[in-house]
Chains A and B, each alone.
Chain A
């Protein structure tokens, strides 16, 4: 049923999804639960290789003014995160967020934001500085006001994307990795033929969920020009020895041009500072630079002054798609069966509803997709050693839980083996990290990456030189 990677000849599908990020996999997971046949094409050797792995991991209740499809999809998504993440075995926490105003001008802006929240039907409440300090003791004491948003949450965006992909594949979707689309040909019967290094596939409908590269895919298909460009965000990750004290997400007041630098506790117990915003030409530029990182930390210290440089354990950059049309979930204006599914920063937050919405659009356009009662809705859960309280039960489940591989983040061989054998398995050290959090801690794999590369080599039938360190490159030359 499941066929990954190599294939020859032309295979036909009702829907071909281009892009294995959080939106592409969400759409695929929804479609796979119907009678429609689905194929996902991903350019990289793993899912979740673009903006979906490089974001702050917020699951928003509010992102922008009401009246947009984006806000509508966020409103349809956020009440259901506990249920969805429970089914998919993804870490999620509705911890709430506090947006800080540090001067009177910012306090005025917060007032406007609160009005937007009210209009959108999202819970929000203005708090005094004393109340802010109670909600988040680490927040800057010198606030003028705070906007409390209890329905803001944090999520593991990599686990979410992998879970959507696992669910899609479990329900019969085909996933082709290492399959960048090189040409798209429109056939006489209206369907499209997409050529990739992993063979050619034909789809009656094509979903363009290619993120920062959505414009390229539209162009290949002869669709409308989608003006979008990469916006680079740099981030810093804080050690859990500091970050575990942080209770809430701390947002800065939005300015008219940017949502600014935020402090976000992660579901792993670390915290993320970011993102910076730098518009680029080159979607492959994910370099970091010291000056931006220092500025980022300084901005974060306005929100949480006790942050210091020495608790930063990792910095990274990722590109999100910026556009004058920030949210695009609609059919192409010229190619009737090309459905664009792209979003600016809030891809994770809209993803549950975006899958359902895309299916509705496809059905309206004539796709025959009956919901299958036998479709799998839940994935087998993988308990985490780090958060487990009853260790003996864990050991009874799988003795490999007592083989602690990544000590900083308490990740066991049991969890790593599951990541390497799941329906969409990790195929690189980074793939293991994305699925388990191993090597994500303060030593960044100094002690465990050798062991994890041996385990990964074993499962991918490679060796110490050819084992993939990232989705794009091997350890050895």
Chain B
């Protein structure tokens, strides 16, 4: 399934549920190439997910071309530069659909104060590191209720790490199934500790501050679109579609939403080419 990326009327970056939904709809309009950094389809839904397998088979049978394990690097409006183990390759396309998924908010996005010690880790990174099966921490504070919060908490607890989640009850109604403790989200968050993190100071809107000792802060708040193809970062080119919604979260619904968004985008740019 992995091959050199082919020139196509439409190129989709991202082979998760959204990217597959976009591709499925675009196939009605013209040839489609789908690119993903990792060598399988499925994105965060996982390649072993039966739904992903079905959806992938469907778009493959309808002629979609896949270039997996390859990274879209730059786009100039006519050519997408793609990096792969065999080199850099120009892919001619007039239409780019970017379905590159979400990332957690950074300390700057979240206006986090204090120090920048070791042990403050984006949830996406924590998930990868914890999958090595090594216990990294004794007590992790997970900030926010993004889609990574629960999987990271479960990996932590499996390895013997205590988990405190900082999120409002309404946002994590099932928290007790996967965390040891919950603290309401606060107006301000400050990281304490110089070489390694020693705790998190949480300050409420009325000015009450409490310190929670911990040896890791996992950033899982405020999911936002991840954008990193140079030349395709802002929504000023009508021939570039960004489809990176924070909702819905289930793979099936994400696929459907992507197909709908692609359909209406195709109408705005003048339908099938």
Give chain A's interface residues, CB within 8 Å of chain B: 236-237, 241, 284, 286-290, 293, 312-316, 385-386, 391-392, 394-395, 399, 401-404, 407-408, 410, 412, 441-447, 449-451, 453, 463-465, 468-470, 472-477
* Distance from B253 Cβ to chain A, minimum over Cβ atoms (Å): 24
Give chain B's interface residues, CB within 8 Å of chain A: 37, 71, 73-74, 81, 83-88, 103-104, 106-108, 111, 113-119, 121-122, 124-125, 127-129, 132, 134-138, 188, 190, 194-196, 215-216, 219, 226-230, 233-234
Q: Indicate which residue in A401, A449, A476 contacts B136 across the interface (CB closer than 8 Å).
A: A476
Report whether A449 and B122 are in contact in the complex, using a CB–CB cutoff of 8 Å: yes
Report whether B137 and A476 are in contact in the complex, using a CB–CB cutoff of 8 Å: yes
Given A410-B230, A443-B226, A477-B196, 19 additional A-B pairs, CB 8 A: A289-B113, A289-B114, A312-B108, A385-B73, A395-B88, A399-B87, A443-B103, A444-B106, A445-B122, A450-B127, A450-B129, A464-B132, A464-B136, A465-B134, A469-B118, A470-B195, A472-B196, A475-B119, A476-B137
For the complex of A and B, the 6 pairs showing the least CB-CB separation, nearest first, are A473-B118, A450-B128, A469-B118, A476-B136, A407-B228, A391-B88
Q: Indicate which residue in B74, B127, B215, B233 contacts A477 across the interface (CB closer than 8 Å).
A: B215
User: Chain A contacts of B132 at CB under 8 A?
Assistant: 463-464
The residue in chain A whose Cβ has the minimal distance to the Cβ of B114 is A287
Given A392-B87, A399-B87, answer yes or no on A313-B113 (Cβ-Cβ < 8 Å).
no
Report whether B226 and A446 are in contact in the complex, using a CB–CB cutoff of 8 Å: yes
Residue from B83, B138, B190 whose CB has the most chain A CB atoms within 10 Å? B83
A475 vs B188: C-alpha distance when bound (angstroms):
24
Q: Indicate which residue in B119, B124, B216, B233 contacts A446 across the interface (CB closer than 8 Å).
A: B124
A241 vs B132: C-alpha distance when bound (angstroms):
35
* Distance from B144 Cβ to chain A, minimum over Cβ atoms (Å): 13
The residue in chain A whose Cβ has the minimal distance to the Cβ of B219 is A446
The residue in chain B whose Cβ has the minimal distance to the Cβ of A286 is B115
Some 30 contacts from A to B, beta carbons below 8 A apart, are A237-B108, A241-B234, A286-B115, A289-B113, A289-B114, A391-B81, A391-B87, A404-B73, A410-B73, A443-B122, A443-B226, A444-B106, A446-B103, A446-B104, A446-B125, A453-B125, A453-B129, A463-B132, A464-B129, A464-B136, A465-B134, A469-B118, A469-B121, A470-B195, A473-B117, A473-B196, A474-B196, A477-B119, A477-B136, A477-B137
* Distance from B140 Cβ to chain A, minimum over Cβ atoms (Å): 10
Given A313-B106, A313-B108, A444-B107, answer yes or no on A464-B134 (Cβ-Cβ < 8 Å).
yes
